[in-house]
With several copies, the nearest count.
Chain A
Amino acid sequence: MNEPQINLQTAVLDDGLGLISAAGYINNEGGQAVADAASELVGGGCQSLVIDLEGTRIINSIGVSILLEIMEKIMEGAGKLAFCNLTPTIAKTFEIMGLDQYAGIFSDREAAVTSFDTDGTA
């Protein structure tokens, strides 16, 4: 009951980059599920994370606030974060709530992954 309406998959890429794919509703539980997945990847040694929101069409402000919180934690540990595959509405929400100041926002997964390379931080 009241299970997250979100489908999460995580992977660690060759160069130690953590990847989270989230499809579904980013509310309280969905945001927390993404946050937990992120903490686990960072705890496992990933310095950079890509969060792919392809398949996420609906969010709420509480869910996004929880994402903001993990971003702060990851920054504190000098980690890097990028989002990709946002719908225009989600991109706009991230911008309004200021998430774009903490994380890169990219059109697709490749662009997000590459951003860390050119950064020299991956």
Chain B
Amino acid sequence: MEVVLHLPAVPNVELVAAKAVETLGEAMGMDRDGIEAVSVAVVEACLNAMEHGGSSFVVRLAGEDGVSPRMRVEVEDQGRGFDPDACPPDDSTRVHGCVSKRGWGLILIRELMDDVQISSRPGLTRVRMWKELENAP
């Protein structure tokens, strides 16, 4: 079960990715909370791809079977790239409640997803993230 979306950088297009997460999540049996967490994470990743990437980007969703089944989400753009290690890896390096308008995207992604891998070089940035189904009885 796989979804691939080639999306143009136009307003609200991140909601197409969120709708795809909802649909695939329901088909996989993910619960509502899990679906909403992945939706917010994919929205943030899409906004980054649109802001820092080019005029289009790609979202891939897939169900992964295994001991603990999970959803894999990839957001890929062809922008100038960045050094993910130079960005705060988690909120411990950040003052809670500081009113900064920016810089929350990657933090939210890391907090809402179970695993996140970012690879980036000029011309190809890929944010890959996983969420477990956690609907064990």
Contact = CB atoms under 8 A, between A and B. Distances in A.
Do A and B have CB atoms closer than 8 angstroms in the complex? yes
Contacts of A9: none
Contacts of B97: 97-99, 101-102
Contacts of B11: 2
Interface string A8-19: 000000000000
Nearest to A59: B40
Nearest to A88: B33
A92 B111 contact: yes
A97 B104 contact: yes
A89 interface: yes
A83 interface: no
A36 interface: no
A96 B44 contact: no
Interface string B66-103: 00000000000000000000000001000011111110
B98 to A, nearest CB: 7
Contact of B39 (A2, A57, A101): A57
B26 A58 contact: no
B43 A58 contact: yes
Contact of B36 (A68, A87, A101): A87
Q: For this complex, into which size category does the number of interface residues on chain A fall?
A: 20 to 34
B37 interface: yes
Q: Binding site of B, secondary structure by majority: helix, strand, loop or mixed?
A: helix
A62 B37 CA distance: 16
B20 to A, nearest CB: 13
A25 interface: yes
Contacts of A5: 12, 15
B107 A2 contact: no
Q: 5 closest A-B pairs (Cβ-Cβ)?
A: A98-B97, A61-B104, A89-B36, A65-B101, A98-B96
Given A25-B15, A62-B47, A92-B111, 15 more contacts: A1-B27, A2-B11, A2-B26, A59-B40, A60-B44, A61-B108, A69-B99, A72-B99, A88-B36, A89-B37, A92-B112, A96-B108, A97-B97, A98-B96, A101-B96
13 contacts: A5-B12, A58-B39, A59-B40, A60-B47, A61-B47, A62-B47, A62-B102, A65-B104, A66-B101, A90-B36, A96-B111, A98-B96, A101-B97
Interface of A: 1-2, 5, 25, 27, 57-62, 64-66, 68-69, 72, 87-90, 92-93, 96-99, 101-102
